[in-house]
Chains A and B, each alone.
Chain A
């Protein structure tokens, strides 16, 4: 196929108008306000409020006890079956949370568990630094979920 190019006028050819246009564009990009780079570990990026990142099990801020009622709805809602809720009945016959496993290696951060949770307990936070040294580290237990993810802080 023959590509048709627009014919440049003679003046444009002699004075290299298009080349100079290109030069001016790159020159204008040098202004500091155009700069796009984020100095990531030094400067934290702004994360949108609705971003879904590392999961967390919230405690009651007054009593310090877990808000989870061990209803198992999050585990049922999860399309990846990456949540396991461990519970037992106390003397009054009420469900009590014993154990909670969240496998973030399989999680796709759809947020359905968060929607299913009837209490404000399970929450997908804005924390995005989820790299670990092994698959084992990606199975988070109840303690880790309550403390929240604590990534290594960059210092230099």
Chain B
């Protein structure tokens, strides 16, 4: 009986919660994004659906789901149907290893707020997020159309140049924590009493830049580039399939934010976990600290989108290979030397 509860029931409930809450969170942050960008552009944003447009996130999915679902005549049917599924599944399963908070007690049972604590969690997240790009490439290829293909090619090139720098940027954190498990990384930050962003500021900035590029958001939104490629890789998609891509993109944004929070900003820990007179901050539960930090990151995403123009293709390559990668490697070397000299 205990076996059933521990290994079947509780994980299923957690998975169900994630699958239910994540689309709702995505719907909410679309409104958040539209409002933030509107304010930055001296507009009001959605105002007509509900008070201050608060019901807009409900109206949008309804509209999308009721639309006609078109598959172009020349498209490769199977891959065309499969591509959004690949994108959305890989965006969702990443959440299996993200620790939302420490264990909580329900009915005298300690329930950790993560689905599973993989001992290679960070590696898992990096590899799965690359599979998400495969969905984009498949979509661009299967559409049998110029713009999606160009978008897919750009996406492939972008992934190759940013994945490497991203991998290097987190190595510093992994060396400090001595583990690949996301839970132990947070616990290591708790025991050392300092968020790793203070030990690894360069790696943090690199990781966030690469994360923005990885999720195809401005200023690295070349694969969809509205002004150049119509809608990039999802030009030929409509209705439900388009909404899957949309869901995957925003879920990926949450993933990258959650990864940045976990690796660099102490996960569910409050600011300055070693300073005791800040103890009053503990009235906010750890899960909410985690969510607040993610929201701050999402705000930065939208802030960038409202402020900066898109990179040109060659500039993107140059930035990835000639700037970010050498800096990330130098950061790894310096961190390694310091860890050895100062004894971890």
Contacts and interface: CB of A to CB of B under 8 A. Distances in A.
Interface in A122-143: none
Interface string B162-189: 0000000000000000000000000000
Interface string A19-40: 1001101110110001111010
B326 to A, nearest CB: 13
B303 A26 contact: yes
Given A37-B44, A39-B47, A22 B307 contact: yes
A35 B42 contact: yes
B320 to A, nearest CB: 16
B303 A29 contact: no
Nearest to B300: A23
Given A19-B308, A23-B303, A30 B40 contact: yes
B52 to A, nearest CB: 11
B323 to A, nearest CB: 9
Contact of A22 (B42, B44, B308): B308
Q: Place the interface of chain A in its size category.
A: 10 to 19
Contacts of B313: none
Contacts of B42: 29, 34-37
Contacts of A25: 307
Contacts of B308: 19, 22
B40 A35 contact: no
Contacts of B127: none
A19 to B, nearest CB: 6
A45 to B, nearest CB: 15
B306 A26 contact: yes
Nearest to A16: B205
Contacts of A30: 36, 39-40
B43 interface: yes
A29 B44 contact: no
Given A22-B308, A23-B307, A29 B47 contact: no
Nearest to B219: A19
B186 to A, nearest CB: 29
Contacts of B44: 35, 37, 39
A37 B304 CA distance: 22
Contacts of A22: 307-308
Contacts of B192: none
B119 interface: no
Q: Which of B43, B307, B308 has the most CB of A within 10 A?
A: B307
B8 to A, nearest CB: 48
Interface string A79-116: 00000000000000000000000000000000000000
B41 interface: yes
Given A19-B308, A26-B307, A37 B43 contact: yes
Contact of A36 (B36, B43, B303, B307): B43
A19 B212 CA distance: 15
A12 to B, nearest CB: 14
A46 to B, nearest CB: 18
Contacts of B307: 19, 22-23, 25-26
Interface in B2-36: 36
Contact of A35 (B36, B39, B303, B304): B39
A35 B36 CA distance: 12
Interface string A27-70: 10110001111010000000000000000000000000000000
Contacts of B39: 29-30, 35
Contacts of B47: 39
A39 B47 CA distance: 9
Contacts of A37: 42-44
A29 B47 CA distance: 19
B290 to A, nearest CB: 24
A35 B41 CA distance: 8
Contacts of A23: 303-304, 307
Q: Which are the 10 A-B pairs with shortest beta-carbon distances?
A: A26-B40, A37-B44, A30-B39, A26-B307, A36-B42, A22-B307, A26-B306, A23-B307, A37-B43, A29-B40
16 contacts: A19-B307, A22-B307, A22-B308, A23-B307, A25-B307, A26-B40, A27-B40, A27-B303, A29-B40, A29-B41, A34-B42, A35-B42, A36-B42, A37-B43, A39-B44, A39-B47
